[in-house]
A and B are shown apart, each in its own frame.
Chain A
Amino acid sequence: MTPLEILVAALTGQAAPRIPVFCNFLDYGPGELNMTPKEYFSRGEYMAEGQLKLLKRYGHDNAWCMSYVGIEAEILGCQEILFPKKGAPNVKDFVIKSWDDIEKLTIPEDISQHPHWQTTADCLSILSQEIGTTNPICAYASSSNTLPILLMGMEKWMELVLMGPKDLREELMRKCSDFCQQQVKAFRKAGAHIILYATSFGTPYFISKKMIAEWAVPWMKNDLQGDAGGIVYYCGGAPMNEVVDTVMKEVGIGAYYISPLDDLAEAKKIINSNGLTCAAIDDIKMVHWTVEQTRAEVKRLIEIGKPGGHFLFGSSLMPLELPEENIVAMIEAAFKYGRQ
């Protein structure tokens, strides 16, 4: 079976020779091509080449057609991104500097025609041609509750959510939800198999479960317009177990990228065979682990998640500080212990 077929088998509960093994090599592409992040993310061809080289080098299952999260803000008018020498770029210029700017914010009629979308589109097009029938291609989309963080900063967004005028907050959510709908549609049309749906306010670590149910969830439904195919629920690494049941019932999302801070056994029990449990290893701790510790943790996670199927093993955000031998050990162990 191809990695893509193995993923489909995990999603549908069919028999497969092993579990899917995902690695999120988001920051590793520039190094692979001896480029700075700024140079690397300037062209979709570079991003695709980086992902394909990483796929060849490590043999995991998936590739990413993602540049950096700030690209969403750039499509909406952000003028400056802070590119570090190494690591993830940051939004430096906030599009919404005052609440008055919310009214002025306009969502392009077709984001797939926007110049800033082009690098992602080019990358996705190359990956689709090269590996689209064999390997899962992943894309990233901010939910309506997360995009405002890129547009105004977490501090100001939190202020608006908790203390600001509700009509203004909802106006921004509506615009961001429009953007999210367009982005999800564009990714699907261009051949992405998986869309990591980032929902920072979809975790009880951020807001109360009541607020998630009454405010965030209805907007998630609007974001996805009744089609959760290929969507993976992701809270930026924050815990989500307490809301999985609600999201599954209300929004219909079938795959959950469980936080290393969550209890995986509990997550598996909640999701059961109704969806895909994706276990994320704590790859920040892995920076200082030995090879043996890395293997042992992979084994532990897979032993919890594999029984009953509907399970995927994956990395978290894979910091550049990870020792090469630990990356190799993690993937080897995932293949070894993930055999059915």
Chain B
Amino acid sequence: MFEQYVKDYNEAIIETDKEAAIAVVEEAISNGVTPEEVVFKIVMPAVEDMMQLVIDNLDTNLAQHFMTAQIAAEITEKMLAQFSAPPEIIGKAVIGSSFGDLHSLGKRIVMGCLKSMMVDVIDLGVNITAVDFVDAAVEHDAQVIAVSSMMMHTATGEEGSLQIRELLHERGLEKKIKLIVGGSPFRYDKELYTSVGADNWAPDGISAAKIICQLIHEVKAS
């Protein structure tokens, strides 16, 4: 029966059918599945499956990424309130769109996935200065700064990631806080992230969540 819930939930995600996904979870809960099992054995694996589809370059689209993240975030939030004990948070990330950039879809996908993966993610919003990114990361004790840029001038501009790198360097924070970038320009030039001083990059929101988790583990291990 449990395998059927997993299968039905995954199908709903692929079909971008939020109502069907929620119905599967409600049925599972009413039949005795615990909120912890919903998050860790249904929702999180579905996010990881989508990540694998993206990594394997199989046929997925932005709508599926968006819905995977959106549904995962909503269900996780609902289930967390019903957990028997608070879950272990694996780490923290601050996220925002770079200075001069008002695009917000990419970071919403990343945030949705991160929430279901037990990462505490702080949304700084859009058009964020480098100083605000670094100050927020320090204030929240975050291991990762994630910067979304949808235009070339905001991706490579001196007031964006380049300045964040400078600030991390000046304040001696480079081992404690990692910098990841994402957004359209980085998809066209896979080496572009190095020229803006980032530690890593992701071609889409789903992959970004996975890489952020890796960066958190790196910081914690060092």
Contacts and interface: CB of A to CB of B under 8 A. Distances in A.
Interface of A: 27, 82, 84, 86-88, 90-92, 153-155, 158-159, 161-163, 204-208, 211, 237, 260-261, 282, 284-285, 287-288, 316-317, 319-321
Contacts of A261: 187-188
Contacts of A204: 59, 61
Could you say which of B64, B127, B188 has the most chain A C-beta atoms within 10 Å of its C-beta?
A: B188
24 contacts: A82-B100, A82-B102, A87-B100, A87-B152, A88-B151, A90-B102, A90-B151, A153-B103, A154-B105, A155-B105, A159-B70, A162-B16, A162-B63, A163-B67, A204-B61, A205-B62, A208-B63, A284-B189, A284-B192, A287-B152, A287-B156, A287-B189, A320-B152, A321-B153
Interface residues of B, number: 32
Contacts of A155: 104-105, 108
Given A154-B105, A282-B188, 14 more contacts: A27-B153, A84-B100, A90-B100, A155-B104, A155-B108, A158-B63, A204-B61, A208-B16, A284-B188, A287-B189, A287-B192, A319-B152, A319-B153, A321-B152
B201 interface: no
B45 interface: no
Interface in B184-209: 184-185, 187-189, 191-192, 195
Contacts of B191: 288
Interface string B94-112: 0000001111110010000
A64 B77 CA distance: 48
Contacts, number: 95
A205 B189 contact: no
Contacts of B152: 87, 284, 287, 317, 319-321
Contacts of B102: 82, 90-92, 153
A65 B89 CA distance: 53
A260 to B, nearest CB: 6
A87 B151 contact: yes
A92 B108 CA distance: 18
Interface SS of chain A: loop
A237 B61 contact: no
Nearest to A158: B66
A237 B100 CA distance: 21
Contacts of B192: 284, 287-288
A204 B59 CA distance: 9
B210 interface: no
Q: Which 10 A-B pairs have the closest CB atoms?
A: A87-B153, A319-B152, A284-B188, A154-B105, A155-B105, A285-B189, A207-B63, A155-B104, A284-B189, A206-B62
A154 B108 CA distance: 11
A184 to B, nearest CB: 26
Nearest to A154: B105
A88 B151 CA distance: 8
Contacts of A284: 152, 185, 188-189, 192
Nearest to B185: A284
Contacts of B59: 204
Contact of A153 (B61, B70, B104, B195): B104
A38 to B, nearest CB: 13
A317 B156 CA distance: 15
A162 B61 contact: no
B10 interface: no
A293 B187 CA distance: 19
A205 B154 contact: no
A308 B202 CA distance: 38
A285 B127 CA distance: 25
B99 to A, nearest CB: 9
Nearest to B153: A87
A162 B69 CA distance: 13
B127 A82 contact: yes
B153 A237 contact: no
A296 to B, nearest CB: 16
B195 A162 contact: no
Contact of A320 (B70, B104, B153): B153
Contacts of A317: 152
Contact of B63 (A86, A211, A282, A319): A211
A280 to B, nearest CB: 10
B156 A163 contact: no
B18 interface: yes
A161 B151 CA distance: 24
Contacts of B189: 282, 284-285, 287-288
Nearest to A212: B61
Interface string B135-163: 00000000000000001111011000000
Given A260-B188, A288-B191, A87 B154 contact: yes
Nearest to A287: B189
B153 A88 contact: yes
A92 to B, nearest CB: 6
Contacts of B185: 284, 319
A92 B97 CA distance: 13
B61 A205 contact: yes
A73 B188 CA distance: 27
